[in-house]
Structure 1
């Protein structure tokens, strides 16, 4: 029997990509709830496990120290609040998992725990949290600091935030609610506890004001690519999202993460790894390549450069744009930078050329006919590079519509993708166990702390 893959959808709460809004099939109504309802229904019709919305807490200023490029070219802005968007999507679906990006750098544990537990209840167990530490100085500047803390400091805070947030989720036992009208007892106070967490970066008293939610913890997603990020993801994440410029690098990453998971005493089979796959599909390979070339023509070089600078959190205009991309010691999104550097050096691209490529890049070598796409996906699973894929759309809703109409039936015909849901919660879709109370202790870094 072939291995069944997991499919998640990567979509902005705003325009897609660098120039996706320019695509003739792009719907410009991303400020309308109908836009997100349509996409949610599409994804559920194809049995996607998850819809995933990235986020950042700033309008990017990474190119030339100004927000003008981001506004002029639509690179990284606008961004609606993902939780509001997911609420709209939850209202028209019953199975689709729904994940939002929320920063450990600029949210407190109480806020995170209550927001996500509430959404898990109201979505009947479909909530997911993409854990980020933030990656732009512009985000820090919106919260009173001149620049981001160093990566190690960001992950130190993230560790404390996760420990405190998980303890808040665990502050109610599953059966603490009684609601006995005869006796007048609403809840069993002996089954609710304070948290009294006090760390170097965060503290909270608890208990949470929301009872334990259907999944116990929402589906935890992470995309760390640096050594610190990989270790954090291996301890905490249920699903790991990654980006690779080659099958070889994807295999290395997959092997490394699974080994790290095992070293931390977790079951590697309880962690799913989903590489990004930007699919451009048509009836034939030639037609798909032509579609991709046409899309690439929509990308202004400065738009692509603006998006690249946004992701690496480095003003690239300080370098000669006709010279190769330099080695950068401290970048925003480490995974994106490593992918870009690998490709740019292999193709001998200048910074300017790299920006143009980055604006229209297709991750995972997924341009072709339905048969070619399915072949490539099957190869990545067979070679131990993926447990599934994070499908990235060049534009919405057209790219998802094409994938669902052309690729999904081919995957289902081969037995690579399910034809119906077999569970109700996001964790069940991924074949993941519900965490018991105090499961956080197995995931947390407790060295020297207890």
Structure 2
């Protein structure tokens, strides 16, 4: 297959505790306490950097997972991601360090300060995943009896972004002269006080951190609903999204690129990176065996709990596991785009509830590939050259083993085809992603 599209794809490593498969922690090769073991994360991130990944990425939620079957899932204890990334900045040199911070249960000043600090600590490698919380249980940790509704979450998120980016622009790049001879530490003419007053926030500023090395840390957005797509087109540098087919990915790609132009931005100012769940080995048979071994460890209650969460925070206990997915109302507390994706998947393939949760036990509705390095490279190349993606957010089934497999089998194949870098060329995450500095 010859390369037809100009440029190379981007790769992010989406890291989730012991791995993305819901039963990963039970795999004999996986450290069960990996979610709270810095040595494991250090090993994983260095694997990604040695493979020349653009970034590592951590999702986050400000609640402990204590719902149905939680006692049998490795999702209840993990590091706060900015703290973890700050430590990882000291043991890496090139790879981008990205994490989620919700706009629903945070304050803009805190988020702006943390990510500006991380950008300085890492020499320009920070990225903020701007999300609205879809875990309804977060509300109780912040004095709310009910979760914030979908429309209000996105309205708040748009204003939150304006405040954070305004705070990052508090100082000109050269505002801090630190001239010992004259005694002038900063030039007051290069200070910009925000004085934001809006519907949701009133923030004076300025930020007490110098302008970040990247100008602004990379902003990532993961919503794929209509409202989420508009927010991404207006604000995001990178879009994470979920699709199960190339046709769906292509439609999303065209739509978001068009919305970006409508928002007055260049198509090239935004990178679209779908998630891809990969089980890879030297042979197809071995890859299938790895996948089957993980699937055999899925407890039915755990699978049903995962589906309940992913399809919109509905309680599916008591449904017939071997019957069809029941009709559900539109979620107001969960991810509407993921609800639509999973409902469509179940209907199109006539899946039972059991078959649906087994299908998403690893990738949670993301594109999934099981096979050899060449098989995976073929699939990624088809999506990249077919303009379904600018790159991918790689979801390893287990950590560190699953990511090490991707680095061993897939990355060299992509490099051989000229689809992925062999060395880092930029000094910052923005540069490596091919994004302009604000």
Distance 1:365 1:40 in 2: 22
- d(CA) in 2 for partners of 1:247 and 1:326? 26
Question: Which region of structure 1 is more displaced relative to structure 2, 112-121 or 81-90?
Answer: 81-90
Pairing 1:224-303 to 2, within 5 Å after superposition: 224-303=223-302
Shift of 1:361: 4.1
Q: Which residue of 1 aligns with 2:164?
A: 165
Give me the whole-angstrom Cα distance separating, in 1, the residues matched to 2:313 and 2:319: 14
Residue in 2 aligned with 1:371? Answer: 374
Query: In the alignment, is the contact (CA less than 8 A) between 1:198 and 1:204 conserved in 2?
Result: yes
Q: CA deviation at 1:14?
A: 5.7
TM-score, length-normalised on structure 2?
Answer: 0.94
Counterpart residue number, 2:341: 339
Q: Which residue of 2 aligns with 1:12?
A: 16
TM-score when normalising by structure 1: 0.92
Contact 2:277/2:362, CA 8 A, preserved across alignment = no
Are the aligned partners of 1:302 and 1:355 in contact in 2 as well (CA < 8 Å)? Answer: no
Specify the alignment match of 2:354 in structure 1: 352
Structure 2 residue matching 1:142: 3-state secondary structure: helix
Matches within 5 A, 1:43-442: 43-60=48-65, 67-74=67-74, 76-311=75-310, 312-317=312-317, 319-321=319-321, 322-330=323-331, 332-361=334-363, 363-435=366-438
Q: For the residues of structure 1 that align with 2:409 and 2:339, how far apart are their CA atoms?
A: 32
What is the SS of the residue equivalent to 1:172?
A: coil
After superposition, the C-alpha distances for 1:394-433 in whole angstroms (9 at most, x for unaligned) are: 1100000001011111111111110000001110110000
Quote the Cα distance in structure 2 between the aligned partners of 1:393 and 1:308: 19
CA–CA distance in structure 2, aligned partners of residues 71 and 100 of structure 1? 25
Per-residue CA distance 1:128-184 (angstroms, 9 max, x = gap): 000111002101111111222221100111111111111111111111101111111
* Contact 1:302/1:356 (<8 A) preserved: no
Structure 2 distance, partners of 1:14, 1:110, is: 32
The CA RMSD over aligned residues, in Å, is 1.6
SS state of the match for residue 52, structure 1? strand
Determine if contact 1:36/1:88 at 8 Å carries over to the other structure. no
Q: How far is the alpha carbon of 1:325 from its aligned partner?
A: 3.9
Asked whether the 8 Å contact 2:234–2:263 carries over to 1, the reply is yes
- Who is 1:32 aligned against? 37
Change (3 A) 1:201 1:329: same
Aligned length: 429
Moved more, 52-61 or 113-122: 52-61
Indicate if the aligned counterparts of 2:363 and 2:395 stay in contact, CA closer than 8 A. no
Deviates more, 1:9-18 or 1:35-44: 9-18
Runs (4+) of structure 1 moved beyond 6 Å? none
- How far, CA to CA, are the matches of 1:204 and 1:195 in structure 2? 7
Does the C-alpha gap of structure 1 residues 16 and 377 become closer, same or farther in structure 2, counting only changes over 3 Å? closer
Q: Residues 304 and 356 of structure 1 are in contact (CA less than 8 Å); yes or no, is this contact kept in structure 2? A: yes
The separation in 2 between residues aligned to 1:174 and 1:202, in whole angstroms, is 26
For residues 85 and 280 of structure 1, what CA distance do their matches in structure 2 show? Answer: 26
SS in 1 for 2:91: coil
Q: Aligned with 1:330: secondary structure?
A: coil
User: Counterpart of 1:80 in 2: which secondary structure?
Assistant: coil
For residue 68 of structure 1, report the CA deviation from its aligned partner.
5.0
Q: After alignment, is 357-366 or 251-260 more displaced? A: 357-366
Confirm or deny: 8 A CA contact 1:304 1:357 kept in the other structure: no
